[in-house]
Chains A and B, each alone.
Chain A
């Protein structure tokens, strides 16, 4: 089996339009959740979100590209350009055929759907722009990355709601580990902060109207975010041979299905996913220093996740750190695991653990070290990144410092 390393990272999210700015925000415990700036906001009960502000697609794409790229594709391309530039890879010759792209998204081009439903239903128009389908399809971002970087190997999009990015990155990991490919662009993207996208979530009544406070006793729901993160996963030998800088090693991955409820999380499903990732990476529970939690800030997720951690790690659960960066960038749904992987890489490389901000009151059902409010210096060798989706589909990645 091949070893798999990360040699490039890129992002745009509510905290910053690049990795450096995002990590600075993590270190400062800065909140990127703000008042929403969208059409028909006055008809929404939810007025806040982790929105990407100051986004000018014209600075990055030409007119023909903009008419073809939904917001989620634009975010993906920006993040991918940063990741590929950092990796120094040029996907030419044989490498082009041995590289692909696997991305996660839940809503795909939801903004495009929203705008065009509005045009035909609300405004009564009988004609829509010819690019509606190529813009809204969930694989649009993956396809545009394949075109921009000439990735001609296995490429597709994964949709497992809030675990989409982790499932996508797990597939990329498996492909390189098995020798099927040598390099992969992987991660995820989401741009659901439009009227319909928020109205749908409102309906579920799991949204907070004021803040995302994971693990805090007074938490009152999740806050939606948007953005993307993309990574270059690469065969370790390939990366070493060309002298690439290695950000971290991906050492394990596991997926499970709760097979129980379409929205309620299951402790057993989450625990099996974490235990599976440890087994896959040949780790003991004591090896893990930090877990980037799914930590949505809902009553159900956070207590279930903490109970699952306690089950898997036993006494070590009280010694490891677990934080949710969703408190800062919101829940990026299908893109969330990718942005959160940045906090894992920061923990391994810089020895800085991103905090859970907005933490106000201890909850006896979440009695773990959640790194409240302030980032912490700590040397960790191994981290896990959790993602537990609606529909009971769980995906956990294990990473190691190199």
Chain B
């Protein structure tokens, strides 16, 4: 009895006497001392009780393999494993005389229902979204791909947090080099990381150029988007702490595709895809272009427009770059405020920020009407992208271009444009070319950037810069 009590105390102290950790004596057939351990916050108590009842009956008839149920496994007691199981929400029955433990995999970890993600709305199609439970998330994919070659592998990352990271791909479709790349990077992460807080940290390890403004993994919370990418040979990385799934290898143009493209008509889907790609140019270059014109190249404008514009900006005390910066910073402040505030107040912020400040700032003579138009158009263009990360990257990118235009006019934009595109050519996502199918040039696939064709067999993504590699 003394042994039992001291054991229970020891177990409790192992878990720092947490109030939700339970360790109590239970009666067990053919066993003098048995202890039941679990985190009350992580198990479904009625399921556990039912399972214990079943096991007790099987043990009492002295069945040889009495632990063989779907949820139970018997194994020799090891303190390290014991702690690990408990932390994963499992229930453990310790059989002290036999020095064995039976662990019941019946965790109940709270999660939301799979509602549509608020940051990836679509008009038609599935309205399901991922949740903070990886079993539910994998289930949502398996519901769509009922094939045995949909492989799911797991790695435990974070020496302290022990977060499960899963990667999923279609065998025979996914590029094996990319799968190995994911595995090796996750292994590296396993060795180096103490704690894993967000899916973004996994993204940092998987991306090859962390300081690039362009995301090299596509983040999504939509199962239909993951499904569409898996059949194209991509790899999906899940965590059990976040609804965000990372997809790779991706191209720059993957960020401009939306599940809505395939939910609508061919022509409609194609038109909006073109609009989105065009929005990249306006979102990045439009303010820079305007600054270059009003600072250096007034002569390119037709006389009528030139006169109006000169009149408009002649009353502004600041240089165009300062004007643009004032407005851009206001837009960024409004955006940041509307993200953090409750939904009910966001509309007020929109009205105050957009209408009141926009109107007053022009009346006060701080910025010109034309600049308001340009910055508003730029902001709208940047929000067209159906990916939050790419949207943010684009918004940041326009600042260096504005600066280059203010310093050297069109010359600055051309030089900056060259640097931007060379950077895009140099990038790769899980060793695959990022700017495909433009570079490496694949004329047959280029139309897919702009046009959503009638759905036929999906084609795997290009995986190499090397023409020999592409032929393989």
- Tell me, yes or no, whether A binds B: no
